């Protein structure tokens, strides 16, 4: 698995999309996301991408969050809407790739 940092967002986006193909892939991937604390790491990257004014990174983060939410994993959704995370996730989701 790639390191969760700005340099690997494209790889992470591809990985998330590929994990969506099967139920087993989704379950295994979400287990890894939870164990490695990806949500907090990704939320921290939103601030970095905004500070760098990197539209490409923000678009990648938007796609990653969008797809992770579509996995419909209850634990992940609960974490997303928690106070420490919700603003970062919303910040990433408001950056649509249609600009």
pLDDT digits (tens, 9 = 90+) for 81-93: 999 999 999 989 9
Answer whether residue 33 shows pLDDT above 90: yes
Overall average pLDDT of the 17-40 stretch: 92
Domains of the chain: which residue ranges?
A: 6-93
pLDDT at 69 over 70: yes
Mean pLDDT score of the chain: 91
User: Which of 60, 66, 73 minimizes the C-alpha distance to 33?
Assistant: 73
């Amino acid at each position: 698995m790639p390191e969760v940092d700005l340099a690997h967002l494209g790889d992470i986006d591809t990985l998330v999309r590929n994990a969506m193909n099967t139920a087993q892939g989704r379950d295994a991937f979400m287990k890894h996301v939870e164990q490695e604390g990806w949500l907090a790491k990704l939320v921290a990257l939103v601030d970095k991408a905004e500070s760098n004014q990197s539209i490409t990174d923000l678009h990648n983060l938007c796609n990653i969050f969008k797809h992770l939410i579509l996995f419909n994993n209850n634990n992940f959704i609960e974490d997303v809407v928690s106070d420490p995370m919700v603003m970062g996730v919303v910040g990433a989701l408001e950056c649509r790739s249609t600009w």
